[in-house]
Amino acid sequence: MSKIAKSIYRVLFVSQGKLYELYARDIHQDDLYGFIEVEELIFGERSSVLVNPAEEKLRNEFADVKRTFIPINSVMRIDEVEREGISKIRPTEGGDNVMPFPQPLMPPNGGRGKD
């Protein structure tokens, strides 16, 4: 009997001046234009003797979340990995003084030159 392993993805994205690293089993572009849908978030086992405070903070933040939609322009990277790691939140490099201004996915005139 063959056992089909489901893919695991590491998602890195920026939100509110922090770099989030999450692990999930399902990621796809949704009908909601400009967003990536992330489902089945994975966190470490709670039965572990040691508790990681950073991962526990993320677990609490996403406690009742069935799926989350992340703006495409906030996503830094998505990797398919062999196994999940520790989810974490880190400050972005350079401090919180400068935040990138959200850019439109398409130029205002639809990418056409001036008429």
Q: How confident is the model at residue 58 (pLDDT cuts 50, 70, 90)?
A: confident
Q: What is the pLDDT of residues 76-109, one digit of tens each?
A: 999 999 888 888 888 877 655 555 566 666 666 6
Q: What is the pLDDT of residues 2-30, one digit of tens each?
A: 456 788 999 999 988 888 999 999 999 87
First to last CA, the chain: 63
pLDDT confidence of residue 1: 40
- Overall pTM > 0.85: no
Rounded to the nearest 10°, the torsion over CA 103, 8, 18, 100 is -10
Contact yes or no for 85/23 (Cβ under 8 A): yes
- For residue 20, give every residue at least 6 positions away whose Cβ sits within 8 Å of its Cβ, in sequence order, or none: 11, 12, 13, 14, 58, 88, 89
Structural domain boundaries enclosing 30: 8-90
Q: State mean pLDDT over 37-48.
A: 76
Residue 52 domain-assigned (yes or no): yes
Residue 51 domain-assigned (yes or no): yes
Residue 2 domain-assigned (yes or no): no
Residue 86 domain-assigned (yes or no): yes
Q: Amino acid letter at 99?
A: M
Residue 71 domain-assigned (yes or no): yes
The CATH number covering residue 44 comes to 2.30.30
**Tokens encoding 40:** 């089945």
- CA 97-98-102 angle, to 5 degrees, is 140
Residue 113 domain-assigned (yes or no): no
Contact yes or no for 75/12 (Cβ under 8 A): yes
Residue 1 domain-assigned (yes or no): no
Give the total number of structural domains in the chain.
Answer: 1
